[in-house]
Structure 1
Amino acid sequence: MNHPANPPLPPDSCSLGWGGLSAFGTAPQASFWVALEQPGPWGRDAFTQSHLDPDLGARIEAAAAAHGGRAILIRRPGQHADSHGGPRRVFVAGGLAGAAWLLSGEVDDPAEVLTLPWEHLAQTRPVEAPWLHPADPVLLVCTNAKRDRCCALVGRPIVEALAERDLRVWECSHTSGHRFAPTGVLLPYGQVLARLTPTLGVEVLEAAASGKLAVGTLNEQHDRSVSWLPPREGAAVSWVRAREAFTDPIGLAAVADGDSVTVTRVDGQIWELTVTRQESEPRAESCGKDAKPAAVFHVELLSAVYA
């Protein structure tokens, strides 16, 4: 499926240098996601360089990381009111390796996020908190310009285009991998996306509303894999999804033994794969940084057994 091109970037932009390289297995690892609304400007390190109290921001990030998850800041589409107070939207996505769930609510004080039962956010059963309620899938698109200019230049137009259609999209802070800008995260499934376009964003949210991953994302161009899998296993699962057009966000398990990865589907199908990390010519991973060898995962099929 072809998608319209994004706005042009300066010729020295990092994401141009990575065009055409596989995105498989490049998702940041996280067994759950916590997204906190923070209006106004963000610095390079958004949780400690915004109007959010930097000590509180550091504590939220640390709590998520200590329990195997990831915290991220979000902003509503459109003009960013330079607000220091007021209710804040929060999304909590967990159970990613099983029956993924998404809760949402508002807090008057962002410090309330620290009261989350962090040790239970990765579990299959949704956690309970009086201010959290079940929510529909949401797409977070990185626009953290101070982290990398590519994200703002091509990320913000996507957010604006999707918001015009009243779709569930938010701007977000750094997701890692700005070399694949525009990048995004689909909650609750934890699928991390590369090289988004407005058309692809629509497909992503329409599929998610039916509990599926978008077929148009299941390829090396757009699928950075799911965050709950380690990189090599993630690359293997993404390869199988692309080969089989398998849109169920759960349904696949992966076990690695060195470069060998076994992917198993719930119906008994098994794929034996070799996943090797290979280097190509040097490229900059971020705008303004020196080039270094670019690492990608190469996947080969050894055997497949169909139930």
Structure 2
Amino acid sequence: MTGSSCSADSALVGEQLAGSAPQALGWVALEQSGPWGAKAFTASHLDPELGRAIEAVAAEHDVRPVLVRRPGRHADEHVDHDHDARRLLVAHTRPGATWLLSGTIAAPEDVLALDWAAVRDGDQEAVRRSLPSLVPVDRAQLLVCTNGTRDVCCAVEGRPVAIGAAAAHTGRVWEVTHTSGHRFAPTAVLLPAGTLHGRLDVDGASALLAAADRGETVVSGSRGRSTWSGPAQVAELLVREATAEVSLDALAVPACETDGDQAWTATVTHADGRRWQVRVVSEPTDVERRESCLKGPVGLRRWTAAVTESALR
């Protein structure tokens, strides 16, 4: 490898983006400005005991917690220095039932009152009962990873995208602590869809928000939808590419079962009744690349996928 960073290495070897999104039905984004450490929930101006408690309850309910801040401020110019009130974003990603809530909480510990099971299950009313300050948000929010203490690529590559996109889309863009996949920087998650995107630029960020406003998604640069596992993400994106389907909620993956070592069969369905069986295999290669700038090279695996059956119902 001749790349100077993990993101350069990844691009150099042509690492696939599809299937690399973390899996989570729900996302909870707590505003925490100021500097972030590599493990931001316990290494920021947030009380570390509270941070550990948030991480624990989120893990218990299969919800992805992140910290966010508005782009463009110096890390030490944190708005919560003199008071505890801050924004909270809560999203559910299941196709056909996505929603995004936003509101101000009086103190960061209020997030523990959230009905985390309802976030996972998509019960918006129960979530709002648990934190009445949360209200529905109609327009998607883009969270761009910029946490340079976790991986320098996220700051060097991600922060300019966050700042540029925020200038063009006031109030719709945040810096975020971690979306996984440093090597795909600049990387971002779009809420409430839960779609992850890599190797992003400012124009690409604008395209994502414009597509979201139309109820669509952007396949180019997509890492997958966090609603599903990696193999299911690969299957969904394969069908999108084959059919040129961009409607966000047109496709679902109701089943994805392993049928051998590193092999799966996924069922992809369309809202119009079509369905596809897709075989997905994760195969080793003789290529190495770094997963992050702080780690050594490891063997790269590649996804292969093919439709084995399609039908109309």
TM-score relative to the length of structure 2? 0.89
Give the AA of the match of 2:308: L
Alignment of 1:1-307 (within 5 A): 11-19=3-11, 20-80=14-74, 81-82=77-78, 83-84=80-81, 85-126=83-124, 127-128=127-128, 129-135=131-137, 136-167=139-170, 168-214=172-218, 218-219=219-220, 222-254=221-253, 255-258=255-258, 259-280=264-285, 281-306=287-312
Stretches of structure 1 lacking an aligned partner (at least 5 in a row): 1-9
Following superposition, the deviation at residue 237 of structure 1 comes to 0.6
Following superposition, the deviation at residue 261 of structure 1 comes to 1.8
CA contact (8 A) 1:23 1:296 kept: no
Give the AA of the match of 2:31: E
Q: 1:118 to 1:249 in 2, by over 3 A?
A: same
- How many Å separate the matches in 1 of 2:266 and 2:94? 20
- How many Å separate the matches in 2 of 1:278 and 1:231? 14
- How many Å separate the matches in 2 of 1:173 and 1:96? 23
Following superposition, the deviation at residue 23 of structure 1 comes to 1.1
- How many Å separate the matches in 2 of 1:285 and 1:175? 13
Following superposition, the deviation at residue 63 of structure 1 comes to 1.1
Give the AA of the match of 1:114: L
Following superposition, the deviation at residue 18 of structure 1 comes to 1.1
Which digits, 9 at most, give the CA deviation of each residue in 1:214-261, with x for residues without a partner?
Answer: 3xxx13xx1111111011111101111222222222232222232222
Following superposition, the deviation at residue 97 of structure 1 comes to 4.2
235-244 or 245-254, which deviates more: 245-254
More helix by share: 2
Which residue matches 1:3?
none
CA contact (8 A) 1:12 1:287 kept: no
SS state at 1:122 partner:
helix
Give the AA of the match of 1:264: T
- How many Å separate the matches in 1 of 2:28 and 2:110? 12
- How many Å separate the matches in 1 of 2:268 and 2:166? 37
Following superposition, the deviation at residue 301 of structure 1 comes to 2.1
- How many Å separate the matches in 2 of 1:44 and 1:27? 19
- How many Å separate the matches in 2 of 1:195 and 1:62? 30
SS state at 1:121 partner:
helix
Following superposition, the deviation at residue 123 of structure 1 comes to 2.8
Following superposition, the deviation at residue 95 of structure 1 comes to 4.8
Q: 1:231 to 1:26 in 2, by over 3 A?
A: same
SS state at 1:212 partner:
coil
Residues paired across the two proteins, number? 293
The percentage of counterpart residues that share the same residue type is 42
